[in-house]
Amino acid sequence: MLGWTVFAGPLSGHDRIRAGFRAHTHAPDAWHKHLLAQPQISLHGDTARVHSMFFRLDPYVSTAGPEIYAFGRYIDTLLRCADGRWRFTGRVVEKEAARAEAPALAADRRTSPTAGSLTTGDQGADHGN
């Protein structure tokens, strides 16, 4: 289950998450960086809960340079799978701040803004996750 603010509800299952991935911008059409910092990991046997901070960098026309598009917090749950790898069972995205201007290279590909209830902040438009 993946909570993205640009979709009205959570994305459940590989098919919907794959559709979400395809609706997102990627290089070389749009260059951005999804950065994660300070993961607080709580292990409980074969499950884990992780709180981390995120911020996304994008290029902008108005400033002629890279800026922070958004920042916020990820609330994740993970599961140790049969093959030994840890995978997400859920990710909630709490977007706390976002730039109103559309990123320079993503402007023509962005998903239509339909901000969901997971948006924590109230600043700016929603140009994706």
Partner 1 sequence: MGIEERLKLLEDEQSILDTLYAYGHGLDYGQEDAWIDCWTEDAVLDWPGRAFMRGHAELRAGFRAHSHAPAMYHKHVVMAPLISIAGDTATVRSMFARLDRYPDGPGIRAFGRNRDTLVRCADGRWRLKERLPEIEAVRAQAPLGGEPFPDSPAMRQALVTPAR
Query: To the nearest whole angstrom, how small is the minimum distance from the Cβ of residue 61 to partner 1?
Result: 13
What kind and span of H or E run contains 53? strand 47-60
1: how many CB neighbours lie within 10 A of its CB?
15
Query: To the nearest whole angstrom, how small is the minimum distance from the Cβ of residue 79 to partner 1?
Result: 21
Question: What are the structure tokens assigned to 56, written together?
Answer: 């996304």
Nearer to partner 1, 11 or 127 (CB): 127
Q: List 92's β-bridge partners, or say none.
A: 3, 75
Query: To the nearest whole angstrom, how small is the minimum distance from the Cβ of residue 84 to partner 1?
Result: 19
Applying CB under 8 A, the residues found at the interface with partner 1 are: 37-40, 51, 53, 55, 67-73, 96-101, 120-121, 123-124
Nearer to partner 1, 17 or 115 (CB): 115
* Nearest alpha-carbon partner for 69 in 38, 25, 7: 25
Nearer to partner 1, 11 or 70 (CB): 70
Query: To the nearest whole angstrom, how small is the minimum distance from the Cβ of residue 36 to partner 1?
Result: 10
How far is it, in rounded angstroms, from Cα 30 to Cα 103?
Answer: 9
